[in-house]
Amino acid sequence: QQQVKQSPQSLIVQKGGISIINCAYENTAFDYFPWYQQFPGKGPALLIAIRPDVSEKKEGRFTISFNKSAKQFSLHIMDSQPGDSATYFCAALYNNNDMRFGAGTRLTVKP
């Protein structure tokens, strides 16, 4: 049932490095692509999102790159910090609110 495939499952990055998480989808009905961040013991929270008519969106150290023809999108975290250590989920949305998540990536940023 995994409609959105996410990789890697886990990622370890040194402080100051770039974290890259990739996602792919098949259903062309998806029309919005959010990323969620989840800290231990908490529910996921929206981090950043992109529409398929935009190839890149940047908010601070977080950037989404989107390749519509390849049906792939990725999250880049620049200058990664230990406080960024969390689980990240990509998601895809259609019918305005029907949202499907990837399996998640556990990011650890070492000091």
Give me the residues that bind another protein (CB under 8 A), please: 1-2, 6, 32-34, 41-46, 49, 89, 91, 93, 96-104
Which of 1, 3, 4 has its CA nearest to residue 88?
4
We find the least distance from the C-beta atom of residue 102 to another protein, in angstroms, to be 7
Cβ 89 to another protein, closest distance in Å? 6
Cα distance between residue 38 and residue 103, in whole Å: 12
Instruction: State in angstroms the smallest separation of the CB of 16 from another protein.
Output: 29
Phi, psi of 55, rounded to the nearest 5 degrees: -90, -20
